Structure 1
Amino acid sequence: MNGRPAPAGRRLAAAAVTTTALASVVFTAVPANAASGLGYDATGDKGSLNNIAQVVGAQAAYAAGYTGKGVGVALIDTGVSPVPGLTSGNVVNGPDLSFDSQDPSTAHVDGFGHGTHLASIIAGRDVAGTPASYLDPSRYTGVAPDANLVNVKVGASNGDVDVSQVIAAIDWVVQHRKDEALNIRVINLSYGTDSVQSSMVDPLAYAVENAWRNGIVVVAAGGNEGDTTTNLANPASDPHVLAVGAMDSAGTDSTTDDTVPSWSTDGTDQRHVDLTAPGVSVLGLRVPGGTADSEHPQARVGDRFARASGTSMAAAVVSGEAALLFQAKPDLTPDQVKQILTGSANGLNNVSTLLEGAGTTDLRKALKAVPKTVVDPAPWGTGTGSLEAARGNFHVVVGDATTGETTLSGEVDVFGQAWDAGTWAKLSKDRKAWHDGDWRGATLTAKGWKDVGGGRKAWVTASWSTPGTAVADGDWSARMWRDGTWSARMWRDSMWSARMWRGGFTSAGWF
């Protein structure tokens, strides 16, 4: 299955790439320095998480005893693989709603590499430690190393994903935010589409607004389109999220030499990114043999890491910061988190507000801020718009030139069901879109959590079963699971494409 504008060229999203809209990323080769034992210079490399934690003030949070403990961050992405750095007990597998879910060997794990990279930025750690221990540069430490990282997989091993899968994932997080003491307060969504309708009616925008109203901060990558468009990706374009752009810290604590890379998406006076965070040459964990790792070996640093750039990475940094802030101030509302982070940000020199928003996050100041009562004047959406319009130019396709291709389009979701926007919007608002393992009547997962050993639990996968009456040509649901029919085109030029793992970016919906 591949994502593509029908009927012509296909595009993806990532950390400098875009699919149905995951943020684009660029991977860049840089000589490794093994002095730290990590394969790079943890104190001198601007892309090291040690350096990034210092730049944004996360180390000040560790010194004050805050590590994200007790706060859940839902990562809606391409999965999380159990590579060293993500196996110390703070990663929980939620549902797998990706095309990989139907094969037990690929369920939950990240065959592409985007989700694992972001997971390590948010909450990576080799072993659990004391807050003070995370100040040690020789340790691999994500921004919020003790946060609960909830893996909600929607992207397949080639990055393919439809907007309806992302909407289903958001609905699941909202309904299960308090399960198993997960306390999900943050969603990281490094994904986006070029929706052709207003966020006032767009269903993806409505889904994130519903999460926001239920106490969850949605951190959305702004996109990696540079000045080729003035519109942020959907749902970053919605005013009720925390939209993040990328900045280049130049590897110093000072803001005087910070810049915004040319590929971080411009905004408009009406809607631009809310703030920026480090998103250039970020060192995160790689998935050996994964799609990104195999196609971009130049991005590898040492044995465990890969270097990538994009608003995806910047969003992951801010998701970790939000978890630290929630631990310190658990009664904050999403609007207050947004107000505190933007109000304490540091503006950059000679950078337009359209590129940087309020500036770059600074937890040193954010942790000292006194929360204010916030009433967001922006109107709320209805979710009653078109699912097809929410896809914009990004469509998943099954089949090939030999078997024939079928494009998913129109008012039908990826599970083969007709889309009734009004009915779904009411269910979503009432937190009833999911019932046990069914989403809008389609069986997508088993009914709940299962003990998988070692004191860990995971949400059980299941064979997808749909009412089966929705696809007009009768072909989509019958063909979507045929072996060997998914292509890798979705992770291409906008947000999550091949340039993420270079020095550039890519697109396919993932940023």
Structure 2
Amino acid sequence: MGAMREVGMAGFAMDEEFEPVPLRTTGEMGLTSTPETIIVRGTVRNEEAMAELRARPEVAGVWYDTPIAPFQFSHPHPEVKKNEAAGPCPIPPCDCDPATPKGTMADVATYLGVDKIWAAGFRGAGIVVGVVDSGITAQGRPVKAGETPKRIPRVIGGWPTADWGTESSKWGDHGNMCATDVLGMAPESQLYDLRVAGSGGSPGTISRALQAFQWAITQHQTNGTPHVLTNSWGIFQESWDATYARNPNHPFTRKVVEAINEGILVLFAAGNCGHTCADGRCGSETGPGKSIWGANGHPLVMTIAAVNKNEQYIGYSSQGPAALDANKPDFASISHFTGYFTSDSGTSAATPIAAGVVALLKQAKPALTQDACKQAIKNSAKDIGPAGFDPYVGAGILQAYSAYVKVKPPIVKTLVGPGCGIKTLRVSCKTVLPPICKTFVLKDCSPPIKTLRGPACLKKTLIPLCPPPPTLGGCPTLGGCPTFAPAFCTPPFPGNPPGFTPPQTWGWYPGYFGGSPWPPYPMAPYGVPYGFFPGGEQPYWGQGYDPASPQESETPESEQWGTEEWPEGSLDDPPQDT
């Protein structure tokens, strides 16, 4: 700091209120790797003084403190309007009407399959999402005068540390919108308010974003939170700051990479400068190669485009290639729905929706990394544009439940039977075991649940098993699959179902259905089968298994079975509805 005050004497007036930010450096940045490398903020008299400052040996670099702005299209500022020089729609029909919602938050959750993730027990509990934005008016905080009366729940901290959660109006409650959209997808998650919009008459700047990210990194090093950072802001034109727009070694972009390397999952909005109906702030810089700038398009971040719930491309969603990566955006999320506002809009709304989904995935798989999360979403996205990757929606539209299926932990089942021993196996919906050992139900296969009826049974929501016999004790079958396990029939079947004798008899599985681990019914005696053969063809006879004393082995994973995929027509193929 003393050296920097000396620099100030040479034409640099340091801002004493700006807390210096340490910068992890690499050779590619052209910066010294000593721990004394820090970022400070101040003013320079003129261009000549700036050149002199850059020439000093103790100065690693000098950058502009670039203004930043939110990516909500229907922003209240007067300069926000549709660009009159509209271009053709690359994936028709395009949605260029941000003021008209195409559904509600609940509709978005249903479309994405988020409701199915909730049903599986994942609602964001234990996950903290940092909303890097204009600020949040949080419940329980002393909100400043002139702010909206609306209060956002589940905000537990933030930066600036003295007054987080107290204002949101600088960007027209944009931060409140983003916070609401995160909670719409992950209602049990918690939030940090990281306010990068300036207070009073000052705009948001890149130096405030740098400080906010540093706070998040330090916090993560302390207690592992935030798990996710959502960013719905950026620059609208390269001319705002060409160095930041195109230089991957800009200090803020490097800080974003540092956050990802720390283990935080980071999402950025692509922007609102798509050529079809660009935001007026984009000027002439619209369309492919001229609309995703700076950290928003860094190869490591998740860059989010926008579509509506009806799978229509939003014509102002910025188009790749980005300045820092040709393969952008990564995928599209949902915008133009009723959330905090009548219509939450822009890639601004699409990004916190995606961040809420990422929070659910992180809860389902705590070890989830940035790259693994991005790949799971891209590999399960719904392609609506040209086949494969395209510069409009990337890999396609986020499909939350499909991504969840890719990242969720494996299912563990204990199998008992002759020739199997007693094994605790780690299996997934695409795992096959030796035929003699197929005595289990893959409860979590998609689609997992059907509501079925049978004349001798109560109405039950059960898991179909394949392949079946024609009937089971008078209970009908469905599309070649049994409608239920006879354990749920009334009255229970204590022995062999009528009409079936060895070796043709098929049995039932006295196991795990609908969340109830073991139904109350008489145990099958020796010689009565208790396992269907999902994907197998040989009947299996086994001794009755006492669920009151389950047996699990500590078989090393290297000895566990199951390496092949199911053939066509097995559990991965959904059964037919009644």
TM-score, length-scaled by structure 1: 0.52
Shift of 1:310: 0.5
Q: What residue number does 2:19 align with?
A: none
Distance 1:11 1:242, change over 3 A: closer
Return the structure number with greater relative CO, CA threshold 8 A, min gap 6: 1
* CA offset digits 1:280-339 (Å, max 9, x no partner): x23222xxxxxxxxxxxxxxxxxxx43231011111111001100000000111111111
Equivalence for 2:561: none
SS in 2 for 1:94: strand
Please show how residues 228-377 of structure 1 align to structure 2 within 5 Å.
228-229=286-287, 230-231=289-290, 232-250=292-310, 258-268=311-321, 270-279=326-335, 281-285=336-340, 305-350=341-386, 353-370=390-407
Cα contact 1:148–1:182 (8 A) shared by 2: no
- SS of the counterpart of 1:358? coil
Q: Which residue of 2 aligns with 1:16?
A: 73
Larger mean CA deviation between 260-269 and 56-65 belongs to 260-269
Any idea what the Cα deviations from partners look like across 1:134-162, whole Å, max 9, x if unmatched? xxxxxxxx110111111111113678211
Could you say what secondary structure the match of 1:271 adopts? coil
Q: Secondary structure at the match of 2:230?
A: strand
Contact 1:14–1:191 (Cα < 8 Å) also in 2: yes
* Contact 2:385/2:393 (<8 A) preserved: no
Count of residue pairs brought into register by the alignment: 293
Residue 162 and residue 365 in structure 1: after superposition, are their counterparts in 2 closer, same or farther (change >3 A)? same
Match in the other structure for 1:148: 190
State the 1:270 CA deviation: 1.6
Aligned with 1:66 (options 122, 134, 138): 122
C-alpha contact 1:199 1:238 (8 A) present in aligned 2: no
Deviation of 1:204 (Å) = 1.8
1:402-417 equivalences in 2 (<5 Å): none
Who is 1:292 aligned against? none
Distance 1:11 1:107 in 2: 20
Q: Does 1:115 align with 2:175?
A: yes
**Conserved in 2, the CA contact under 8 Å of 1:14 and 1:312?**
yes
- Alignment partners' CA distance in 2, 1:267 and 1:149: 30
Q: Distance in 2 between matches of 1:271 and 1:144?
A: 28
Q: Normalising by structure 2, what TM-score?
A: 0.47
Indicate which of 173, 182, 186 corresponds to 2:228: 186
Cα distance change, pair 370–315 in 1 and its aligned pair in 2 (3 A)? closer
Paired residue secondary structure (1:324): helix
Distance 1:12 1:319 in 2: 19
Alignment partners' CA distance in 1, 2:372 and 2:68: 36
The change in CA–CA distance for 1:248 and 1:11 in structure 2 (over 3 A counts) is same
Distance 1:85 1:70 in 2: 25
The aligned counterpart of 1:169 is 212
CA positional deviation for 1:86 = 5.0
Q: What residue ranges of structure 2 are gaps of 5+ in the alignment?
A: 1-66, 83-95, 140-148, 276-285, 410-578
Q: Please tell me the root mean square deviation across aligned C-alpha atoms, in Å.
A: 3.2
Secondary structure of the structure 2 residue equivalent to 1:223 = coil
Partner deviation per Cα, 1:350-406 (whole Å, 9 max, x = no partner)? 58710011101112211111589xxxxxxxxxxxxxxxxxxxxxxxxxxxxxxxxxx
User: In the TM superposition, what whole-angstrom CA distance separates every residue of 1:193-212 from its partner, at most 9, and x where no partner exists?
Assistant: 24423343122211111110
Contact 2:155–2:165, Cα closer than 8 Å, also in 1:
no
1:11: Cα distance to partner? 8.6
- Closer, same or farther: CA 349–29 of 1 in aligned 2, 3 Å: closer
Q: Secondary structure of the residue that 1:151 maps to in structure 2?
A: strand
User: Which residue number in structure 2 is paired with residue 426 of structure 1?
Assistant: none
Tell me the amino acid that sits aligned with residue 406 of structure 2: A
- Report the secondary structure of 2:268's partner residue: strand
Say if 1:336 and 1:371, in contact at 8 Å, map to a contact too: no
Q: Give, in whole Å, the separation in 2 of the partners of 1:182 and 1:222.
A: 27
Q: Give 1:73 deviation, angstroms.
A: 0.5
Q: Which amino acid aligns with 1:109?
A: E
Q: Check the 8 A contact 1:60/1:363 in 2, yes or no.
A: no
Residue 70 of structure 2 aligns with an amino acid whose one-letter code is: A
Q: Is the 8 A contact 1:77 1:190 kept in 2?
A: yes
Q: Indicate conservation of the 8 Å contact 1:249/1:278, yes or no.
A: yes
SS of alignment partner, residue 236 of structure 1: helix
* 2:158 corresponds to 1:94: yes
* Higher-strand-fraction structure: 1
Partner of 2:9: none
- Whole-Å separation in 1 of the counterparts to 2:112 and 2:348: 16
> How far, CA to CA, are the matches of 2:150 and 2:173 in structure 1?
14
Q: Deviations over 1:432-491 (max 9, x none)?
A: xxxxxxxxxxxxxxxxxxxxxxxxxxxxxxxxxxxxxxxxxxxxxxxxxxxxxxxxxxxx
Give the gaps of 5 or more residues in structure 1.
1-9, 31-44, 124-141, 251-257, 286-304, 373-511
Identical pairs, percent: 26
